[in-house]
Amino acid sequence: MISKKQKEAVTINLDGKEVEVPAGVNLIEAAALHGKEIPHYCYHPQLSVAGNCRMCLVEMGTPMRDRGSGEPILEEDGSPKIGWVPKPVIGCATDVIPGMHVKTDSETVLDCRESIMEFLLVNHPLDCPICDQAGECRLQEFATDYGRGYSRYEERKNVKPKRTRLGPRVTLDDERCILCSRCIRFCQEVADDDVLGFVDRGSFSTLTCFPGRELSNNYSLNTVDLCPVGALTSSDFRFKMRVWFLKETPSICPESSAGCNTLVSSREGEIYRITPRRNDLVNDSWMPDSGRSLYKEVRSEDRLTKPRTDGQDCSLEDAIGAAVAALSVGQVGIVGSCRSSLEEQFLANQLAKGIKAQKFLRGHFGDDDGILLSSDRTPNLRGTLLSGFASAYPKDNLSSLALALKKGNLDALVVMGEDLFESKVDADSINGIPIIFLGTHENATSQLAKVVLPTLTSFEKSGSFVNRNFFLQAFRQSVPGPAGLLPDIQLLSRLLNELVEESFQGSDLDEIWEDMARPASSPLKSLCFSDLKKGCVQLDGSKWASLPFVEKKALHYKPASPKAAKSS
Amino acid sequence: MAKTVVLERKPLSLSERTYLPQILTGLKTTFTNMFKEKVTLQYPEEKPVLPPNYRGVPTLVKDPNGREKCVSCQLCEFVCPPKAIRITPGSVPEDHEDREHVEKAPQEFEINMLRCIYCGYCEEVCPEEAIFLQNEYSFSGYTRDEMINDKAKLYELGGTLPDDHYKWDKKKEAEEKGNPH
């Protein structure tokens, strides 16, 4: 047996063609590399192999050898004689071996697929008009590709419970389940919360939670994504919108520094769901449930939608004018945010340099679940280091700002979305100091601010975040922002151009990237924003290796300095 | 290059020059039609008899049990060429009386008759036989809002049509007599 660690290539014969594939992969992956689809339900590249759906049956054989001499046995025409395995084998559990012959579209294989489809559909209800999976359902797809097209089954179909609540976020339709066990394996292997299992036998087999347990872990909605049919449905997305209406935009989850790759599905400017996007370096195919509900903040009631000065709604021009007036005298303090994109942090840093402002920053920390929810609950803390906004690791509060205010050093404050009063800053110490608030949602600070410039959430703008592995990843605008609002980078470049003489800061992402990548010492050197389209970019974070990053060992992440992680 | 052929016009004969035969032929047609059966209708006092399969205003229908047939699969919304249909899907609570075995139904269903082109695709695509283009053809209103049919209006226009399937009854029967789990 070839171990999976070996990367060498082996040659196999795929449908009569000699092809090279990496050693150690199974037949499904090997065929996929050469554009041949072997249909499958239970196999998932990031889960263990179960081999119970039988959809990936293929024919397999090896060149025959003489038992005595070991000489290859040849056909009459001189080609090696192939000893075909008498019955088809499952592609998911068969790894490639050198010289192996595989048939993926022979008559036997097609017949197998047709029969397996017929068995799977025997008890499957005709729910497609109301099923949320319709349109992205493997059963629908393979039934049209490989099924017989009509049903020979005249007996009664099994009736099973239609709306079982498996957990707070997952609803199960038992009739639709094809017993692939992907969800069970996910709970055992990835979520580490073994709560699902099959009970009963044969066609009465039913997916259930173990008695007294429920599927309530923070990764439960991944089972919905994994489900090849519509059996597991998200209670939040259930019956909300048909999937063929949804436009999918690649994005990055702003929940924590894990930086899960996501797809944001929206229709006509409204987001309906967030699903994980496969990235084997960052999040495999998973993401936490908590990150999936973040789209609700886009339409939340406390969303800031109108610019304000002194508590009165005003035009954006007036608000920017008032902000410029307040910031052009005295010592300014800028409270940055680890939730801003790298480009915004860069502009905030340029602004701080230009008007010689003091910089403050706070981090937001929580518990680490060791998978994809890291203890750093901001998406871009490392971006503040890269952009030069911060040089030290931020604390969980703004005590340095409180100190500066107490001393009376500051005459005006720019706050990027943070709530000062949650960060150990006294309301009294701010007395009389004008606050320019740039943020998406109302908080105590925005209510007290002299000027409020509403900004956009990460779903409404493009930019990039740097995750815990120093992977630079881009997110794209999926829905338009509220009418009349400008993206953060445009607001910041306006402020920069008005306040700092001789500064011509462009407000376009590409222009900002040109400026960011210009310094020879920049870790972003020779990069541009469009490079991130292809995927994440590994940056050199060794310069900051000594900082006490709080993240713990997790999926695809190892703390760079174990000492620092322990001491925090 | 096509060749141009010049055709000589023949001179008119005597009878042609008098125009009389032509006038008489015309009068003959007029008088024959005067005594034939009338083909015009005194619309709007008189209404035409519509052929079967006539495509009038799209409506939603209920089954003879008075149950809503539409399950808001949104296929009509998808197929509608002028995008006249707009559905807000909704789920039916499990304990809803008279709605056993129904999981999904439209919360709101709008057809914008200013956009509708009466193509009938919605009727054709409907997997539940819930939408029909019936015989109403002179739909009008004084404002734009009046021309948008909401769910209540669509059911009022649609009424009840005979049903071959009784889907919900079958589902109930399946649960009672099927292979209960």
Cα–Cα distance list, A435 to A2, A139, A419, A451, B48 (Å): 65, 57, 12, 7, 73
Per the CB < 8 Å rule, is B75 touching A128?
Answer: no
Residue B74, both tokens:
């949104």
pLDDT of residue A1: 39
Instruction: Tell how many helices (H) and how many strands (E) occur in chain B.
Output: 6, 6
For A471-510, b where at least 16 C-beta lie within 10 A, e where not — what string?
Answer: bbbbbbbbbebbeebbbbbbbbbbbbbbbbeeeebebebe
Closest partner residue to B174 (CB to CB) among A134, A159, A240 is A159
Per the CB < 8 Å rule, is A156 touching B181?
Answer: no
pLDDT of residue B102: 85
Give the separation between CA A30 and CA A111, rounded to whole angstroms.
22
Give the separation between CA A238 and CA A261, rounded to whole angstroms.
23
* pLDDT tier, A81 (very low <50, low <70, confident <90, very high otherwise): very high
Q: What residues of chain A lie within 8 A of the CB of B78, using their CB?
A: 242, 244-245
Span A44-56, mean pLDDT? 95
Q: What residues of chain A lie within 8 A of the CB of B128, using their CB?
A: 129
Residue A541, both tokens:
């974070």
pLDDT of residue B172: 82
Cα–Cα distance list, A434 to A202, A326, A327 (Å): 71, 7, 9
Is residue A59 within 8 Å of A102, Cβ to Cβ?
yes
Give the separation between CA B115 and CA B89, rounded to whole angstroms.
21
Q: Tell whether the model's pLDDT for residue A218 goes beyond 70.
A: yes
Give the separation between CA A413 and CA A415, rounded to whole angstroms.
6
Instruction: For chain A, positions 344-373, list CB contacts with chain B under 8 A.
Output: none
Span A426-437, mean pLDDT? 88
Whole-complex ipTM: 0.85
Closest partner residue to A239 (CB to CB) among B77, B89, B101 is B89
Please name the amino acid found at residue A568. S
The parts of chain B modelled with pLDDT lower than 50 are none
Rg (CA), chain B: 28
Number of Cβ pairs < 8 A linking chain A and chain B: 58
* pLDDT tier, A566 (very low <50, low <70, confident <90, very high otherwise): very low
Give the separation between CA A516 and CA A463, rounded to whole angstroms.
13
Per the CB < 8 Å rule, is A157 touching B94?
Answer: no
Per the CB < 8 Å rule, is B174 touching A129?
Answer: no
CA terminus-to-terminus distance, chain B: 82
Q: What residues of chain A lie within 8 A of the CB of B94, using their CB?
A: 163
Q: What is the mean pLDDT of chain A?
A: 92
Sorted by where each starts, the structural domains of chain A and their CATH numbers stand as: 9-105 (3.10.20.740), 128-138+152-299 (3.30.70.20), 308-538 (3.40.50.740)
pLDDT of residue A132: 94
Q: Tell whether the model's pLDDT for residue A564 goes beyond 70.
A: no
Question: Which residues neighbour A532 within 8 Å (Cβ) at sequence distance 6 or greater?
Answer: A464, A472, A473, A474
| Domain B58-166 CATH assignment equals 3.30.70.3270 | yes
Q: Which residues pair with A248 in a beta bridge?
A: A265
pLDDT tens-digit readout, A234-288 = 999 999 999 999 999 999 999 999 999 999 999 999 999 999 999 999 999 999 9
* pLDDT tier, A561 (very low <50, low <70, confident <90, very high otherwise): low
Q: Tell whether the model's pLDDT for residue A447 goes beyond 60.
A: yes
Check the CA dihedral A267-A268-A272-A277 and report its sign: positive
Strand arrangement, sheet containing A232-234: A164-165, A170-172, A232-234
Q: Tell whether the model's pLDDT for residue A149 goes beyond 70.
A: yes
- How close does chain B come to A152, measured CA to CA in Å? 18
Q: What residues of chain B lie within 8 A of the CB of A245, using their CB?
A: 74, 77-78
Percent of chain A with pLDDT over 90: 80
pLDDT of residue A425: 87
pLDDT tens-digit readout, A365-393 = 999 999 999 999 999 999 999 999 999 99
DSSP structure class, residue A26: B
Q: Compare all CA atoms of chain A with the CA of B172 and give the residue at the minimum distance.
A: A159
Which one of A130, A237, A272 would you mutate to disrupt binding with B, by most B Cβ within 10 Å of its Cβ?
A130
Residue A343, both tokens:
């480009």
Closest partner residue to A242 (CB to CB) among B74, B174, B181 is B74
Domain residue ranges in chain B:
58-166
